[in-house]
Amino acid sequence: MNKMLKVMSFLLLGIALLGDAKSKNLPILLGAKPTEFKFQTRSKIKVVRAANGIMAAVLKDSSGLVCRYDENGHFALPIELVVYERIDNIFTTNGIIIIALAGLFNSFYSPGKYRILRFKEDSTLSELTNLPGIDDKDDIRILQVRDGIILGKKRNTNVFLLWLVNENGEISEPKILNMSEQVVDVEIDNRIIVMRLYSVVKGHEENYFRCFVIDKNGDISASQDLITLSDCSSVKIIGKKIIIKCDSIIGYGYQAYEFRGGMLEQIPITQSLAEEYFACDRFVSDTIYNKYFVGGAIYVESKVIEENLSHKIYENKIFFIKNLLEDPSLTSDQILFIKESMEKPIKLKFDMQLRKFFDSLPLAIKDELLRLGCVYEAAIISRKIQFNPQQVMSDLNRPRRLFS
């Protein structure tokens, strides 16, 4: 009975937060301030990446474009990528742009060919040589590029190659990872790699994971396997935390893990963590969403504004959302207050010291904390959750066994 109550309370928490998240047209980021940039293309954007002041995109006609942006969300005019082959995918990290070419046929069967570009000081593009450690004869498929890590795979093998890209855009020699299992999917962020594995022996295609922590030299500093009790539908890395969304007969459940002392430990699902998960898990129709840089997010929305028999013209809107927690005017005490209020709602009534501290925050952040129910004055502590969240958190935070 207690187990069923725990599962049901977990489900109610997920439904309550998800329902609120989906009611917005922009992601939930504390004190989000969107800026907007428009440009036109002759084809719809299908893939977009953003990192370290560079946005790169692939259009449905297999062409590409790149543009630069600053920390305030001001974009330069896009530069069209002129290549003779079709562009299959595009990546960017630490100032470099990697273009995956599709070749003459389907990219899954054609040899992996890549072009590496870098912005010069005059904002023109220069082409670099191939990735270190491989040549034109090697058939490499790039799986993920993020946070200064390039992860590739030799096609038709279980050999993975890992390159590091430093802040100057210099690419290291590859590290080799040999896997005995087949890798179904990969997620990378903050030097953490999570691989979803399929093993003929274990047979856990949906809920068998291998998690790595990569150090500054590109070596594995920690590694552990993880098996969830339910089938997994998605994995997100938020900060240093691994969030797994699991399906069950009655709905969805969420599990969070973090490397501590070189070992994975299950950690509490807090309201702020759930908020951030839903923010980066959302997908709006005809909208491409990428959260590939710290403290913000990018939406790209495309719609037809002109159409005739010969062509279409698309208007693309880029929404740049910056997290106000990175506001340089905030003191360390204010940031601590905000984070603590997101972990556990703070009651302001009858506490003049807390009230005065809350009033010292910027207006946009105060509005957002009130909207999220992080601070309150009356008995109802959240506008979204009409039951006792402390009890829900208490149920969720009971220790669970971790299979390794």
Order the strands of the 87-93 sheet from edge to edge.
Answer: 87-93, 96-101, 113-119, 125-128
Q: What is the mean pLDDT of residues 341-363?
A: 77
| Residue 305 near residue 313 (C-beta atoms within 8 A) | yes
* DSSP structure string for 340-357: HHHHS-EE-TT-HHHHHH
| Cα separation values, 31 from 152, 213, 320, 361, Å | 37, 31, 13, 11
pLDDT of residue 246: 72
* DSSP structure string for 167-188: TT-PBPPPEEEE-SSEEEEEEE
Show the tokens assigned to 255.
């599990």
pLDDT of residue 150: 92
pLDDT of residue 322: 60
Q: How far apart are CA 385 and CA 183, in angstroms?
A: 38
pLDDT digit string, tens, across residues 138-153: 778 888 888 899 998 8
pLDDT of residue 164: 93
Phi, psi of 215 (to 5 degrees): -85, 180
As a whole number, the mean pLDDT across the chain is 70
Q: What is the mean pLDDT of residues 214-235?
A: 80
Show the tokens assigned to 242.
């691994």
Q: Which of 52, 28, 69 has its CA nearest to residue 292?
A: 52
Q: Which of 312, 248, 293 has its CA nearest to residue 40?
A: 312
- Greatest mean pLDDT range, 20-24, 126-130, 311-315: 311-315
pLDDT of residue 26: 36
pLDDT of residue 107: 42
Q: What is the mean pLDDT of residues 158-162?
A: 89
> Among 39-43, 198-202, 212-216, where is mean pLDDT lowest?
198-202
> Among 254-258, 260-264, 383-387, where is mean pLDDT lowest?
383-387
pLDDT of residue 8: 32
pLDDT of residue 234: 75
Does pLDDT of 381 surpass 70?
Answer: no
The structural domains of the chain, with segments of one domain joined by +, span 332-396
Question: Can you give the C-alpha Rg of the chain in angstroms?
Answer: 23
